[in-house]
Amino acid sequence: MKTFDHIIIGAGSAGCVAAATLAKSGRRVALIEAGGSDEGFLDALDAGRWKNLVGTKHDYDYRIEPQPHGNSSIRHTRGKILGGTSSINTIIAWRTPDYDLERWVEHGADGWGPNEIGPLFDQIFDHVHIETSTLENRFHHDLIEAAGQTGLNLVDFSPQNQVQDGVGYLYFNKKGRMRQSASVAFLHPLDQWGDELTILTNTRAIKILFDGNRAVGVETDQGKFYCDGDLILSAGAFASPTLLMHSGVGPADHLKDVGIEVQHDLPGVGENLLDHPDSMIAWETNRLIPAVDLNAMGMAAFGKTDPSLPVPDMMAHIGTAVFDTYTKPHGYPTAANGFSFSPNVARARSTGTVRLRSNNPADRPVIDFRYFTDPYDQFILTEGIKFSRRVAAESPLKDWIKRELFPGIDVQSDEEISAYARKVAGTVYHPAGTCKMGRADDDTVVVDSQLRVRGMQNLRVADASIFPTMIGVNPNITIMMIGMKCADLILEG
Ligand SMILES: Cc1cc2nc3c(=O)[nH]c(=O)nc-3n(C[C@H](O)[C@H](O)[C@H](O)COP(=O)(O)OP(=O)(O)OC[C@H]3O[C@@H](n4cnc5c(N)ncnc54)[C@H](O)[C@@H]3O)c2cc1C
């Protein structure tokens, strides 16, 4: 049996970056991925075709537990393919706001401050090509003017800048139509790799193998693989805690309940599940909106519910189509021509859990976001709908509008808006936080600031699950940065 220096479980946003960085530094790496290759597969490579993958074998399509305060029918798309969810996402690119990195440092993430992390983004952007929306048009022009009437200025959302309140064109990790996923940017062409990187696609990790408390390998559906150095778990915010728990690392009581022998009691595994919940408001237009960028989403607006806040607390994606996934089942009208604002809670405070359904690794985990259990999240969403309405009420944008489709103009009080917004709530698809990074005196911390799993040896986590707190922008580039940081930490020894 071949032994590697490192095994990385999950070739997603973080895993591909960590694998390429370690392999380029001369380490012998095995990258284990449950999905197949994305190379030459146009539905994964053309950034306008991601919907072709949703609900197929390339999507884990996670379901969630009933949500007493929100929408229980939300489905969480996650890529099961090389590149992971970066092969199926809408490619909006940001760097992590300094504000959020400073919060992480406050939580005990030593070495993750803006000064230390800044150079990593430069390295990411050496690989990942970023470009902005190219098809400005009359609609966008009128939207910017209307936003200006409400005090929202046109701002440059380039990942070179810190995010600020205002309206602006989004930037994307793409070249023309071609997605710059973690696999495209860091692994392709796959035949460039020799002995330093073995990419094992269609190989599902079942559990981590230990010698005492030292990780030594992984059992997969294709056999066992071993490493001398660190094993890195990069399977994402649902699968990384799930794999840890199937390996006996997690809350002891829960593991005993489902019949798993406890290797190490770590109460924080699967806790602190974060997301960006959103909702939708849409208008039918009295004319066709000229074609805009891929995915009908070229712009966004950021707002502050209190002008004295240091950073925006609400983000709204602006779509030049009627996004009706969660409104249609409730009977709200839709239209062929229209536009949508989807305000989201930039730093949602409700936290949920990922738990095992049973000791059978083939069973789906139990995912409970506990959306809107913190009243703050309800408040931000309500304000987000009102904020969107204020922009739409201004000229010249209002001249485009035939009618408000949903929630509809009869929904006016805060209570009515909140009830509507939560009933049809969606997700920006940013689950995170389930193996959170932080300081040793916090019992719910899973990894230290070096991404090492507490109480274990040769085991790190590098993916969205290490977020201590949610960040105020779309997280994909941040997660690539986490993969690179993990590789650097290992190489620094
Ligand atoms: C529809 C959609 C749109 C999005 N749009 C954006 C956007 O525009 N901008 C943005 O910043 N973010 C966006 N996101 C979110 C972003 O893409 C994710 O947050 C990010 O890709 C997560 O990275 P990760 O490394 O944590 O996990 P992933 O990228 O999901 O990687 C995990 C990998 O592990 C593999 N894996 C899991 N379990 C196993 C196992 N047992 N064995 C082997 N392999 C396993 C998976 O197959 C996957 O390849 C979007 C997400 C979705 C679903």
Q: What is the pLDDT of residues 20-54, one digit of tens each?
A: 999 999 999 999 999 999 999 999 999 999 999 99
Quick one: pLDDT at residue 135? 65
* 181 Cβ below 6 A of ligand 1: no
Alpha carbon of residue 352 to chain centroid: 15
Quick one: pLDDT at residue 133? 75
Q: Report which ligand 1 atom has the smallest distance to the Cα of 243.
A: 41
Give the mean pLDDT of 202-216.
98
Q: Which of 7, 50, 89 to mutate to test the pocket of ligand 1 (most atoms within 8 A of CB)?
A: 89
Does the structure show a pLDDT above 70 at 134? Answer: no
Interatomic CA distance for residues 205 and 33, integer angstroms? 8
Does the structure show a pLDDT above 80 at 144? Answer: yes
* 231 Cβ below 6 A of ligand 1: no
Burial class of 365 by CB neighbour count within 10 A (0 to 12, 13 to 18, 19+): buried
Quick one: pLDDT at residue 29? 98
Supply 277's token pair. Answer: 């919940």
Distance 337 CA to ligand 1 centre (A): 31
Residue with tokens 């693989």: 225
Structure confidence by residue, pLDDT tens digits, 65-119: 999 999 999 999 999 999 999 999 999 999 999 999 999 999 999 999 999 999 9
Structure confidence by residue, pLDDT tens digits, 305-324: 999 999 999 999 999 999 99
Quick one: pLDDT at residue 463? 99
Distance 402 CA to ligand 1 centre (A): 38
CB 422 within 8 A of CB 381: yes
Quick one: pLDDT at residue 74? 98
pLDDT-based confidence at residue 296 (cuts at 50, 70, 90)? confident
Does the structure show a pLDDT above 80 at 378? Answer: yes
Nearest CA to ligand 1 atom 16: 476
* 92 Cβ below 6 A of ligand 1: yes
For strand 223-227 and strand 214-220, is the pairing parallel, antiparallel, or unpaired?
A: antiparallel
Give the mean pLDDT of 183-187.
98
Does the structure show a pLDDT above 90 at 369? Answer: yes
* 320 Cβ below 6 A of ligand 1: no
Does the structure show a pLDDT above 90 at 194? Answer: yes
CA dihedral 228, 230, 235, 237 (to 10 degrees): 150
Quick one: pLDDT at residue 1? 64
pLDDT-based confidence at residue 292 (cuts at 50, 70, 90)? confident
Distance 263 CA to ligand 1 centre (A): 27
Mean of pLDDT over the chain: 97
Quick one: pLDDT at residue 294? 78
**Please, which contacts does 336-340 make with residues 24 or more away whose CB atoms are closer than 8 Å?**
337/284, 337/285, 337/286, 337/287, 337/288, 337/289, 338/282, 338/283, 338/284, 338/285, 338/289, 338/405, 339/139, 339/282, 339/283, 339/285, 339/289, 339/400, 340/280, 340/281, 340/282, 340/283
Give the mean pLDDT of 243-255.
98
Structure confidence by residue, pLDDT tens digits, 454-466: 999 999 999 999 9
Quick one: pLDDT at residue 137? 86
Structure confidence by residue, pLDDT tens digits, 413-472: 999 999 999 999 999 999 999 999 999 999 999 999 999 999 999 999 999 999 999 999
Give whole-number Cα distances, 342 to 35, 147, 262, 279, in Å: 31, 15, 43, 5
Catalytic residues, by residue number, are 430
Q: Report which ligand 1 atom has the smallest distance to the Cα of 84.
A: 49
pLDDT-based confidence at residue 295 (cuts at 50, 70, 90)? confident
pLDDT-based confidence at residue 493 (cuts at 50, 70, 90)? confident
CATH class of 3-492: alpha beta
CB 371 within 8 A of CB 71: yes
Nearest CA to ligand 1 atom 24: 236
Distance 240 CA to ligand 1 centre (A): 11
